[in-house]
Structure 1
Amino acid sequence: MNNARKHYSMKSNRTNVITFAVLIFAFVLSIGVGKYSLSIEDITKVLKGTHENQMTINVFYMLRLPRSIMVVLAGIGLSMAGSVYQTLFKNPLASPDIIGVTSGANVGAAFSIVFISGNVLSVVFGAFLGGLLALSFVIGIVKFSRTDNVLTYVLAGIVINAISNGILMTIKYFSDPLNEMGAIEYWTMGSFGSITGEKLKIILPFFIIGMVGIFLMRWKIHVLSVSDEEVKTLGISVEQSRYLILLCSTLVVASVVCVTGLISFVGLVPPHIARSILKRNDFNTIVFSGLLGAILMILSDCIARTILPSELPISIITSFIGAPYLAFLVCTKKKI
């Protein structure tokens, strides 16, 4: 048994190191790709402070670096949050977008834009509150139905998404068509085009708080993946621990979508790939899914800003990647 655990630990660590190396390469690629291309030599000179072209320096520090950092944070955050949801709910389809968390967060962000203010701090709070309410409604519907299975969570997510879309359309109706309408449409499609260093600084504390909470409660996440009865025998408060972990995960999701908008399937696909590679469902798998999510997000973002003369919304790319993968799992009848 000890040899098996040691072998798995070595395999997991090796896989994470290799994946992290790929992520670093993808991150550098993300900084260089765009209408104004930056070579490795340009990036090196800018970091050393020896580059003479002020335009290149401005593009690196004001556009590419904040955007690439946000892309990585979005991939890590959404994928790890999705993996945490799946572990806690013991449900392979419990991703932030399918169970309605991201839809609720978008409604909260839109409400803040129209009825409160458009500053990033209020939008973060609105997105967090909207995502938390959506998650609470899903849990309530599942408990009221007294059937804790995959179909119940999917149906509850469909209900919450439908309600969120209805509220979102109502908010659009009362919004200013010249200013607020465009901002709301931005949230529903998702984009990294408006990321700046200032926005990154504002959301970073919320993201870090959520992620630190997830890491501090990592052993509880693993324990809560078994039956509630077994957890109670260990002296752990099931409801309190579950809600604290979900609060942290929802804060991570809200901190991302409040500046990027809705990003589909990133919270669903990487956790499945991670479990299929590591053949486990522990916290190492959650971390691995975050690394995979960051790589997927970087590649999607590079495609979104290079495939056409004008930049595509990021959810278009992730949907074309995620939906066929989910269909493949269903058609091959693999355990998801």
Structure 2
Amino acid sequence: MRQHLLVVLLALLLAIAAIASLGLGRVDIPFVRVIEILASPWVEPPVPVSPMEWSVVAIVRLPRIAMSILAGAGLSLAGATLQGVFRNPLVGPQVVGVSAGAAFGGTLAILAGWQYLGLLGPAFAFGLSALLLVYTLSTAVSKSDILVLVLGGVIVSGFFGALVSLMQFLADSQDKLPVMVFWLLGSFATANADKAWLLAAPVLSCGAGLLMLRWRINILSMGDEDARALGVPVAALRWVVLLLTAMIVSAQVAVSGMIGWVGLVVPHLARMLAGADHRRLMPVSALLGGLFLLMVDNVARTTTAAEIPLGILTALIGTPVFAVLLWRNRRNA
């Protein structure tokens, strides 16, 4: 009962934060007025909604708020899932190379002049390839050593990072290079309804698939032998889970660039609130992730006149937390 209440409270807090965020910006709009604007197609407000108010709230800010929540929820859900599948609390989409692989696919698509769906396909393909390479390396060397998995992620991330640099070197410095650099830093500045729908489709569908499998992920986190003893098809289930997580991360990278550390840090915060049971941990991670990235994006777009890239802010928060986690893991070992 307590855990259900936690999920309800987080969902309510996220909804309130989203509505409040719609009123933040160069044109500040009160909380109640935002609700009136959103409800105006169905309920006539006391003061008629002006075209400017509708444009600011519904056309400019709403897609951006939706994208920040979807991206944060998707990355956190993917991080919690990967930590369970690999039985390693120090794993995240960035640590295991998914983000670097997806970034290479995205820069390759930008170099080729592809947009939207053309960006998502290569990002997904190379994000999944990076994850499979890390998984293959770690299982070939040692199936139980945490350090091997982390080092495999470092190797694969470095390889795809070099390919990203190669794409930047080959790009036109006047045209495509600035687009690549800005995209790689991570931002929702170019958010629109098309990108929001493009992100929503894989995040909602694949996220729902992961949530339906969360009790099986509990079993996977016990170890392969125990899972097989309970009748779980370990190899097939792991492939399905990896495909779903790669699709979520690749979709996020395709529409908003590299946003690191969310999938590593937020699941740990969720674990402190909900415990290690993935049936509770994964929904709480998704809600916390959406709330976290929404707040970070609000800071990015309101603190200064020039928008701060999200990748910078999330790295400033995530790297110290990751260092503390490594130190605690070393002490426990």
For 1:99 and 1:36, locate their aligned partners in 2 and report how far apart those are by CA, in whole Å.
41
Among candidates 275, 293, 300, match of residue 297 of structure 1: 293
Contact 2:211 2:282 in 1 (8 A): no
SS in 2 for 1:58: helix
RMSD: 1.8
Aligned to 1:155: 151
Q: Which moved more, 1:10-19 or 1:104-113?
A: 10-19
Residue of 25, 29, 33 corresponding to 1:42: 33
Q: What's the CA shift for 1:204? A: 2.3
Q: Aligned to 1:268, what secondary structure does the other structure show?
A: helix
Q: Which residue of 1 aligns with 2:244?
A: 248
Q: Percent identity?
A: 30
Contact 2:206–2:248 at 8 Å: present in 1 too? yes
Q: Which residue of 1 aligns with 2:141?
A: 145
Equivalent residue letter for 2:286: G
Does the aligned pair in 2 maintain the 1:124–1:203 contact within 8 Å? Answer: no
> What is the TM-score with the length of structure 1 in the denominator?
0.92
Instruction: Give the whole-Å Cα distance in 2 for the aligned partners of 1:140 and 1:241.
Output: 16
The residue correspondences of 1:179-198 to structure 2 (distance < 5 A) are 179-198=175-194
**Residues 246-265 of structure 1, C-alpha deviation per residue, up to 9 Å, x if partnerless?**
10111111111111111111
Mapping of residues 201-212 of structure 1, within 5 Å: 201-212=197-208
Query: Following TM superposition, by how much is the alpha carbon of 1:213 offset from its aligned partner in structure 2, in angstroms?
Result: 1.9
Flag the 1:216–1:46 CA change in 2: closer, same or farther, 3 A: same
2:271 maps to 275
Structure 2 residue corresponding to 1:225, chosen from 212, 221, 224:
221
Residue 173 (structure 2) aligned to one of 173, 177, 187:
177
Tell me, yes or no, if the aligned pair for 2:220 and 2:227 is still in contact at 8 Å. Answer: yes
- The answer to whether structure 1 residue 11 and structure 2 residue 2 are counterparts is yes
Unaligned stretches of 5+ in structure 1?
A: 1-9
Rounded to whole Å, the distance in 2 between the matches of 1:300 and 1:73 is 13
- State the shift of 1:301 in Å: 0.6
Please say which of residues 35-44 and 148-157 is displaced more in the overlay.
35-44
TM-score by length of 2: 0.93
Whole-angstrom distance in 1 between the partners of 2:312 and 2:92? 18
Could you give the per-residue CA deviations for residues 191-226 of structure 1, whole angstroms, max 9, x where no partner exists? 011010011123322222211221232222121111
CA distance in 2 between partners of 1:147 and 1:244 (Å):
19
State which of 125, 131, 145 in structure 1 corresponds to 2:127. 131
Aligned to 2:93: 96
User: Is residue 102–residue 257 contact of structure 1 (8 Å, CA) maintained in 2?
Assistant: yes
Q: CA deviation at 1:332?
A: 5.7
Distance 2:294 2:96 in 1: 24
Q: Work out the number of aligned pairs and report it.
A: 326
User: Within 1, Cα distance between the matches of 2:296 and 2:105?
Assistant: 26
